[in-house]
Amino acid sequence: MKDLSPARHRPVDAMKSPRFTGIGTFMRLPHLRDLTGVDAAVVGIPFDTGVTYRVGGRFGPAAVREASRLLRPYHPEHGIEIFDQLSVVDFGDLAVVPGNIQASYAATVEGMGPILDAGAVPLAIGGDHGITLGELRAVAARYGPVGLIDFDSHTDTWEDYWGERYTHGTWCKRAIEEGLIDVGRAVQIGIRGGLYGPQDRAGASSLGLRLIPTEELLRRGVDDVLPEVRERIGGGPVFLTFDIDFIDPAFAPGTGTPEVGGPSTRDALRLVRGLRGLDFKGFDLVEVIPTYDHGEVTSLVAGTLIHEFLALLALLHRDG
Ligand code: MN
Ligand code: MN
């Protein structure tokens, strides 16, 4: 009798074919748009003209995919074989329009539709942080306002830049205004760097966001901050957005608006691992600009973080 259960999708086995061979999808997953039975889909959103400083995030998805060849399927700290739990594909890139952020938002909402409607969790690779607004529109249309865990050295809650209200520095304010975020369940971790004035942080706090600046994170430590984050997010749907500039540019130089004095890659991994059990409905990893990278270090950090996100989803599947 023919097996009618949908095919499970997993990376090419690197013990059978070396990791440097084949086409560069994320972790060498199959590039598929048929989402039957798929639990999670990696998707590129290479839009980068929402930036206020360096461009080049359009090349982020390709660079992160290339670096992700190195990643392995078993996660020893969590004790889980990710692809025994999840069927995962690389969906490819969405049809963004360079220089036109509104058209790119429309393409993002449309492109994310089939992924979300299939019940798969999207893991997006940016692109600049402006893309997150489009993703949140798509996610909130299905789940209502979501909790937000935002790793970033910037609050991205400015009103506008040069009169432009839709940029990588304003997406979070717009998302709150549009009712996409449940602000009582939102937290920004890693805020640091010079500002235009005290009103910048005060403005973010007055929107209802809980800010955990880098200074506070490093003083209290990961183990002290995690329970607070978990309690604030609680049991509802949550979106995790990770701006790579959360991490110190010594570890992740390939980005657009770097801020020195930040947490290490190790701190970031421990924070993300501590989020197991939360009800994630989407993830993104943004602001990787390969042009400013060295030795693929930033791309590898980014790919490794997406691997950590997949591990969180695998744990959800296994343990509920
Ligand atoms: Mn950002
Ligand atoms: Mn940032």
DSSP output for the chain: ----SPPP-----TTTS-TTSS---GGG--B----TT-SEEEEEE---TT-SS---GGGHHHHHHHHGGG--SEETTTTEEHHHH--EEEEEE----TT-HHHHHHHHHHHHHHHHHTTPEEEEEES-TTHHHHHHHHHHHHHSSEEEEEE-SS----S-BTTBSSSTTTHHHHHHHTT-EEEEEEEEEEE-S--S-THHHHHHHHTTPEEEEHHHHHHH-HHHHHHHHHHHHTTSEEEEEEEGGGS-TTT---BSS--SS---HHHHHHHHHTTTTSEEEEEEEE-B-GGG-STTHHHHHHHHHHHHHHHHHHHHHHH-
pLDDT at 320: 81
Q: Average pLDDT over the chain, rounded to whole?
A: 97
Residues with beta carbon < 5 A to ion ligand 1?
129, 152, 154, 156, 243
Whose atoms come closest to the Cα of 172: which ligand? 1
Residues in a beta bridge with 147 = 238
pLDDT at 71: 98
Cα of 161 vs centre of ligand 2, distance in Å, is: 15
Neighbouring residues of 309: CB distance < 8 A, sequence distance ≥ 6: 123, 240, 272, 280, 283, 285
Cα of 169 vs centre of ligand 1, distance in Å, is: 6
Closest C-alpha among 7, 86, 5, 60 to residue 280: 86
Q: Residue 230 is encoded by which pair of tokens?
A: 């978990």
Our CA angle for 51, 54, 60, nearest 5°, is 85
312 CA to centre of own chain: 13
Helix, strand and coil in the chain, % to nearest 5: 40, 20, 40
Q: 206 in the Ramachandran plot: left (φ > 0), alpha (ψ -120 to 50) or beta?
A: alpha
Whose atoms come closest to the Cα of 256: which ligand? 2
Whose atoms come closest to the Cα of 167: which ligand? 1
pLDDT at 5: 77
Q: 161 in the Ramachandran plot: left (φ > 0), alpha (ψ -120 to 50) or beta?
A: beta
Rounded CA-CA distance 138/240 in Å is: 14
pLDDT at 167: 98
Residues in a beta bridge with 44 = 93, 125
In this prediction the pTM is 0.97
Cα of 195 vs centre of ligand 1, distance in Å, is: 14
Domain 42-319 carries which CATH code? 3.40.800.10
pLDDT at 6: 80
Rounded CA-CA distance 247/112 in Å is: 27
Judging by beta carbons within 10 Å of its beta carbon (0-12, 13-18, 19+), is residue 117 exposed, middle or buried? exposed
Cα of 289 vs centre of ligand 2, distance in Å, is: 12
Rounded CA-CA distance 274/286 in Å is: 21
pLDDT tens track for 222-267 = 999 999 999 999 999 999 999 999 999 999 999 999 999 999 999 9
pLDDT at 4: 66
pLDDT at 257: 98
Cα of 15 vs centre of ligand 1, distance in Å, is: 38
pLDDT in tens, the chain (320 residues): 556 678 899 999 999 999 999 999 999 999 999 999 999 999 999 999 999 999 999 999 999 999 999 999 999 999 999 999 999 999 999 999 999 999 999 999 999 999 999 999 999 999 999 999 999 999 999 999 999 999 999 999 999 999 999 999 999 999 999 999 999 999 999 999 999 999 999 999 999 999 999 999 999 999 999 999 999 999 999 999 999 999 999 999 999 999 999 999 999 999 999 999 999 999 999 999 999 999 999 999 999 999 999 999 999 999 98
Q: Residue 181 is encoded by which pair of tokens?
A: 């975020």
